[in-house]
Structure 1
């Protein structure tokens, strides 16, 4: 077997993998309970080609979630370098919402067993998120009664906007993120303190627990 043949096969395998992951994102973001065969159909590959790369639906979901967590960390690390605390906070939230990271993480939670890498990435993501928020609060530009555990609830609300084509969805999510941002500024505290308590880490973490088999 020649080197050119091997290179050609590797290139085809890489193309197949890209197609599978793109199809999986589209299929499982729309319907997490969709069968894995639907991913193969949308990707235009045979089911055997899919199973050679991902032996189960759980393995595919775990990969999507890992990629989403990596993307979240990259967005947060980039936002952390922005000079202004408010600008960094806005850059971070817009990056997370635009990338639809929530749909690749919590939206898929409980459907596969998290790995140590998932947990490490989640811890890193949470630390960066808290750092960006607390920096903005120390600068007096974000209301002080906002907790870092409140932010995932904002992502969840905005990820629920699925009206129209992708460009329209992006536009609407940006619109309503700006509504949220107006209420997150420190001068919005004139409306009074936030009612109730922020979600606990235990409440947020419970969503990653796999449901018991019936």
Structure 2
């Protein structure tokens, strides 16, 4: 790419990273907060995204596409059926997709393309769930809606920095996964439990 195009691509990446951080923390934050965090001028942001709604749609669309890609990977996986399903769960949590989709839901008007992406992601996720049940590794009384709400609960865990948050999310994902598996499993949980000091820190003003 030319120098100008390369700079535009870098700015776009900075804007999307900043928007993800800002809007997953507070969907009602002003678009100026994104420009400030990205370190770009507000005019540069508006040249790429003409409105806050357009930026929110982009984030949500990226999340839906990533969900679909992870689901397709799980469906293509060979070997242990449980590991394919568990890998699907871990990758969805690692990507923090529900912070980009459910967290932002209702903050913008969906487009036809976004609706199609949502349908595709839902279809693939349902197929991953159906296959795990049919292969006898997932409790048959657990629905895809149950899984979706579990993802939302895990996305709500935010304690300490990004590394500690990821560690805790994996700890509780492992705990949940053992209860979903058939027959039930009882494996060591990853990462240490939260300390009292970590929990108390949430009461300290920023």
TM range (shorter): 0.7 to 0.9
Task: Indicate whether 1:169 and 2:165 are aligned.
Answer: yes
* 4+ residue runs over 6 A deviation: none
Q: How does 1:50-129 map to 2 (within 5 A)?
A: 50-83=45-78, 84-129=80-125
Cα offset, 1:186, TM superposition: 2.2
Structure 2: distance between partners of 1:94 and 1:14: 29
What does the per-residue CA deviation read over 1:39-70, in whole Å, with 9 as the maximum and x for residues that have no partner? 00000011111111111110000000001111
In structure 2, C-alpha distance between the alignment counterparts of 1:31 and 1:89, rounded to whole Å: 31
SS, match of residue 186 in structure 1:
coil
Match of 1:21 among 5, 16, 20: 16
Let me know the Cα RMSD of the aligned residues. Answer: 1.1
- Contact 1:85 1:132 (C-alpha < 8 Å) held by counterparts: no
Match 2:44 to one of 38, 49, 70: 49
TM-score normalised to structure 1 length: 0.83
RCO higher in 1 or 2 (8 Å CA, sep ≥ 6)? Answer: 1
Task: Tell me how many residue pairs correspond in the alignment.
Answer: 183
Distance 2:117 2:50 in 1: 23
**Could you tell me how far apart the structure 1 residues matched to 2:182 and 2:148 are?**
19
Distance 2:22 2:107 in 1: 15
Long gaps (5+) in structure 1:
1-5, 189-214
CA distance in 1, matches of 2:126, 2:106: 24
The aligned residue for residue 28 of structure 2 is 33
**Aligned mates of 2:50, 2:135 — CA distance in 1:** 49
Match of 2:7 among 8, 12, 24: 12
